[in-house]
Amino acid sequence: MTPTPKTLYVHDDLSEEVRAAHGSASEAARAAAALLALVTRDTARVRILTLDEQLTALARGEHTPFTVAIGIGRAGERVARQVHARTGWFPRIERVDLTREESGDGYTLSTLGSASLEVQLRTVTDAASIAVVDDTIFSGLTMMAVLKALDPGARARARVLCLRAIRDSLDDVATMCPASAGFIAGGRLLEDVSFINASGLVRRGAIRRTGQAPLAFYERPEWMRAWFLQDADEITARCAALARLLEDSA
């Protein structure tokens, strides 16, 4: 059974994406705004995280430009480019393909058909300084896998940066190399605190499953009920309607 977190942080990566693709006055933009207003109606428990607040906090760190930044998946690569636009830290960005997939009762890691992590990382292991970048450190599963795949010498020259993190997971990562995040939430994973991306509510790919088609969050009713309680049915209906709008206009 999925627990209801005491605090649910929703990263708003949806509003600007929809406005940019469809226009600020579009039906899709209005639907996205209405969805997020409903998502945050539970003001005591649900909080929106903006990209700007996370980037601003992360950019307060002092770093000379890294020789190479490793972006974990498309999300990590995107964050690396967003951070570089503000700071100039990452003149060279390389993506490694790695994601978490549901498999049976747990999760496995997949390179989505790409080469093994060790092979993907061969081009960066000699770099004088290495940033390993992702959007979220939640369980830390993917980040730890990348760090372990680096040879010890490269790991000693690495630093982890991400937009948001669970404190305990970030502390675990920091046992392998220095790590920082724009926003850090304390508490027990899933029970006290959880993170989701707003885009994942409507975009398939938020839930990846081994050997099966990916899902959006709204297609997982148990999770929606745990996250949004009495508002779950209405939020799910709005997610489905917005997903259809976005698909029809794609």
- For 249, list phi and psi in degrees, rounded to 5: -100, 5
Residue 2 lies in a domain: no
Residues 148 and 204 in one domain: no
Residue 90: domain span: 53-182
Residues 127 and 17 in one domain: no
Residues 22 and 93 in one domain: no
At which of 126, 154, 182 does a domain end?
Answer: 182
Residues 116 and 142 in one domain: yes
Distances in whole angstroms, Cα of residue 53 to Cα of each of 60, 113, 114, 180, 181 = 11, 35, 33, 15, 11
At which of 182, 201, 234 does a domain end?
Answer: 182
Residues 156 and 197 in one domain: no
Residues 36 and 150 in one domain: no
Residue 243 lies in a domain: yes
Residues 176 and 221 in one domain: no
pLDDT at 18: 97
Give the DSSP letter of residue 109.
Answer: E
Residue 211 lies in a domain: yes
Q: 195 and 11 in contact (C-beta within 8 Å)?
A: yes
Residue 107 lies in a domain: yes
Residue 232 lies in a domain: yes
- At 190, which amino acid appears? L
Instruction: Give pTM, 2 decimals.
Output: 0.95
Give the DSSP letter of residue 62.
Answer: -
Residues 116 and 43 in one domain: no
pLDDT at 250: 64
Report the domain count for the chain.
2
Residues 47 and 58 in one domain: no
Residue 77 lies in a domain: yes
In tens digits, the chain (250 residues) has pLDDT values of: 899 999 999 999 999 999 999 999 999 999 999 999 999 999 999 999 999 999 999 999 899 999 999 999 999 999 999 999 999 999 999 999 999 999 988 899 999 999 999 999 999 999 999 999 999 999 999 999 999 999 999 999 999 999 999 999 999 999 999 999 999 999 999 999 999 999 999 999 999 999 999 999 999 999 999 999 999 999 999 999 999 999 987 6
Q: 197 and 11 in contact (C-beta within 8 Å)?
A: yes
Q: 3-class SS at 131?
A: strand
Residues 160 and 109 in one domain: yes
**Residue of 32, 52, 33, 40 lying closest to 9 (CA atoms):** 40
Residues 75 and 161 in one domain: yes
Cβ-based neighbour number of residue 226 at 10 Å: 18
Residues 141 and 86 in one domain: yes
pLDDT at 104: 82
pLDDT at 117: 97
pLDDT at 126: 95
pLDDT at 249: 74
Long-range contacts for 139-143 (Cβ within 8 Å, ≥24 apart)?
139/100, 139/166, 139/169, 139/189, 140/166, 140/169, 140/170, 140/172, 140/173, 141/100, 141/107, 141/109, 142/72, 142/73, 142/98, 142/99, 142/100, 142/109, 143/72, 143/173
At which of 182, 204, 230 does a domain end?
Answer: 182
Q: 132 and 160 in contact (C-beta within 8 Å)?
A: yes
CATH code for position 100: 3.40.50.2020
CA 156-93-174 angle, 5° bins: 30
Residue 1 lies in a domain: no
- At 61, which amino acid appears? G
